[in-house]
Structure 1
């Protein structure tokens, strides 16, 4: 009987031990689960808080950046408006002239006419050393109440005022067509970087390029100055050129709106472009649109008579042409004429009248050798109501903004 009792006690003890172990395991499991759940919840909350903190930080940074940009723009606008408000009527009109440098009395002409800029041609550079040309340009700036916009045609290839074998640059810049054929858009970028560095070193802010014309006929007047390819490839070239010029703080000037195409040379004759407006929209306008989107500073207007837009006058003095550029293409920068001495305009209208007509049409800057005759005529036109002071102020504002963007107004 004792043996049976001991066995029963043993079984009973084992059962009690197993029950205790089970209870302990259950308690441990519950505790672990609670701890795991709490930790996970804490981690989730912590992660959420971290993400929210990061999001707030990024948002704050973006808002700060946006705010800084807004402040910069507001400050620039305020500075330009204050400058504009302080100017006399004569000073405002003078700002709209990108004048060909006179043979004599250059500094006097700047002061007397309050000129907005000077353009250097071959005769202004011939015989100059690097040091003397820099000094000459600096002397122009030194007598100008407002900084001048100094420009010189430096497209490359056929048009190389500065680098055209006169010892001022190691070698003439190649045409965009040749560069593109040799090394594509990377070559274009590199060329603009080198060109910009040289222009800046002389105190020149604009090279009056790139040429946005689409020409496919090798016999066409403008062909060798273009990329020589279709509108799509030309648009890519224009986009890259404008973006790089913007980085380099050199003004971009797209030319020659509405597009030269395969037409004749308006330097020597009046030219009629009889292509349809649809053709221009689907082809010639595309590189200009690409340049505008990229942030082009200025656009030069041709002297061709584009009959599908206005068959009465050259594009440079046509309001409908300028309306297309402003309203259809949305360009808000500086519109400038091509050289007013070219036969395409000079054989059509007197130089004295041409300046006023160009401003009435919607140009902001006039590229002129006859500024001394044109400025008094413009002032008279304002007095008589042919050209309003409100229009004048808009154009002067655009010119000052371009100068500000180039770092000239500090």
Structure 2
């Protein structure tokens, strides 16, 4: 096992500072370092409930980290600096920036999703992307990115992983994850590979329920866990546990991997030899809360071997429960010491104890820079995949106007409207209609029959994997509608901006374009291929 002291290599003076701080900390302060609530990055009045709560947790519990969610760049900048100023020990700010800051911060650059990156066949692009995102994190004061996703996209109907994964091939997933980690680590940003021991082979979403991973120990070790082992060998600083029922490694029915000592300590720590930070997935997800109280879950998570407890439903209950468990010797105090030492080493390695505030000018220069935008476009251009059938009809001829039939799994928003509106600017005369889940089969039949014979239909399909959504597949009445359109227009082109595996429901030989995500940069790359116009 590589010690966490080697995962987070410090200079002699830094090690001394950490050990000196540890020696002065009370049990109360140590447990506080293991608790990580969440906060939104929007303006918060000093009298608002959200602001009063987060400042209370800093001052009274001494929380070790904060997970940031939706917000804007200026509020993020101000909030991080203000909260750091009132904390005795620097706070480890973190966020889910799998594809860049745009996952949480409005009006910032989004890179293509992981599956798109893997389709380029070039891991160096993942390394450059990891570095670019890390630079943006650093200038904002965010020290930990909960990325990369190293789950295998083995179950095509997985409602929550899907295009967030690099793909179903363990070697490809491992290679791109290693590259991402290398890029981010060069900027001293903590990475967290997720969701151990693998969330790919299930049709269930742990935000809604506890997924069952019904795979053998042999298959899990050889496939699902393989990319995690490669990440460990590559020096990943953290691994996030998944709320997953894994009978192959945990005999207690209904116990999530996050709360299983057999999996967290027995498998990840002892068998795989990982001594870095282990963090729970969000403890307020239904995969835990449907089955365990906040008190019970917090104690089980720490007993299992997690170093940091993310987003407990009630931070004070979690804190008090762990404190009582240590007092009652249910959890050894030595285990708390090891966890807190890892946390402090990680904070020191990431530069938190010596961090200087960035100017807003520096933030504006680095976040969503032209260099990053060009990298995102390069990835998008190289990732778009065309079927042989689609190649025959591209670029689209201007003799027949395009007719955009946008199919979405929800009411249209700016994301879905971007494609058709941009296409119309390039090819005037292009029309568009939206097909949402609320359009019934009778109406779909009318639409198919009313299309002018002089058009070329283009069907952007926005059916995506999303948290809390449930099952992911095209409904039968929509497939019948597609069949009616194909009968009249054999040259119609399907564009999948969501789950690419749904294209298989159409059958073989269709004219398809796969973008592996709905971010604007991927949509722009598709439009360029469709029209032959460089954007």
Task: Give the TM-score of the pair, scaled to structure 1.
Answer: 0.77
Tell me the residue number matched to 2:67: 119
Q: How big is the shift at 1:104?
A: 3.1
Tell me the residue number matched to 2:334: 390
1:236 and 2:175 correspond: yes
Tell me the residue number matched to 2:241: 301
Q: Is the 8 A contact 1:223 1:262 kept in 2?
A: no
Q: How big is the shift at 1:190?
A: 2.1
Tell me the residue number matched to 2:46: none
**1:253 aligned counterpart, secondary structure:** strand
- The 1:239–1:349 alpha-carbon spacing in structure 2 relative to 1, beyond 3 Å, is same
Q: How big is the shift at 1:279?
A: 0.5
Q: How big is the shift at 1:83?
A: 1.1
- Between structure 1 and structure 2, the one with the greater Rg is 1
Which of the numbers 42, 49, 55 marks the counterpart of 1:107? 55
- For residues 282-323 of structure 1, what are the alpha-carbon distances to aligned partners after superposition, in whole Å with 9 as ceiling and x for unaligned? 001111111111111110001111000003211000000011
Tell me the residue number matched to 1:203: 141
Tell me the residue number matched to 1:362: 305
Q: Map 1:10-25; keep pairs closer than 5 Å.
A: none
Q: Which has the higher contact order (CA 8 A, sep 6+)?
A: 2
Which of the numbers 274, 289, 299 marks the counterpart of 2:229? 289
Which of the numbers 98, 107, 114 marks the counterpart of 1:155? 98
Q: Tell me, which stretches of 5 or more residues in structure 1 are unaligned?
A: 1-70
Tell me the residue number matched to 1:317: 259
- The 1:396–1:249 alpha-carbon spacing in structure 2 relative to 1, beyond 3 Å, is same
Q: How big is the shift at 1:108?
A: 2.3
Q: Is the 8 A contact 2:102 2:110 kept in 1?
A: yes
- For residues 13-38 of structure 1, what are the alpha-carbon distances to aligned partners after superposition, in whole Å with 9 as ceiling and x for unaligned? xxxxxxxxxxxxxxxxxxxxxxxxxx
Q: How big is the shift at 1:217?
A: 3.1
Tell me the residue number matched to 1:217: 155
Which of the numbers 319, 331, 337 marks the counterpart of 2:274? 331
Counterpart-to-counterpart distance in 2, 1:72 and 1:251:
15
**1:291 aligned counterpart, secondary structure:** helix
**2:178 aligned counterpart, secondary structure:** helix
Which of the numbers 255, 280, 283 marks the counterpart of 2:194? 255
Which range is displaced more, 367-376 or 282-291?
Answer: 367-376
- For residues 108-139 of structure 1, what are the alpha-carbon distances to aligned partners after superposition, in whole Å with 9 as ceiling and x for unaligned? 221111000000112xx1xx3x3332011100
Counterpart-to-counterpart distance in 2, 1:107 and 1:298:
26
Counterpart-to-counterpart distance in 2, 1:72 and 1:270:
39
Tell me the residue number matched to 1:138: 81
- The 1:162–1:261 alpha-carbon spacing in structure 2 relative to 1, beyond 3 Å, is closer
Q: Map 1:336-355; keep pairs closer than 5 Å.
A: 336-355=279-298
Counterpart-to-counterpart distance in 2, 1:281 and 1:72:
32
Counterpart-to-counterpart distance in 2, 1:79 and 1:315:
34
Q: How big is the shift at 1:72?
A: 5.1
Q: Is the 8 A contact 2:117 2:166 kept in 1?
A: no
Q: How big is the shift at 1:255?
A: 0.4
Q: How big is the shift at 1:180?
A: 2.7
Counterpart-to-counterpart distance in 1, 2:184 and 2:231:
11
Counterpart-to-counterpart distance in 2, 1:161 and 1:110:
25
Aligned-residue Cα RMSD (Å) equals 1.8
Which of the numbers 26, 29, 32 marks the counterpart of 1:94? 32
1:378 and 2:378 correspond: no
Tell me the residue number matched to 1:184: 122
What is the number of equivalent residue pairs in this alignment? 330
Counterpart-to-counterpart distance in 2, 1:131 and 1:321:
40
Q: How big is the shift at 1:245?
A: 1.4
Tell me the residue number matched to 1:15: none
**1:339 aligned counterpart, secondary structure:** coil
- The 1:196–1:336 alpha-carbon spacing in structure 2 relative to 1, beyond 3 Å, is same
Q: Is the 8 A contact 2:250 2:260 kept in 1?
A: yes
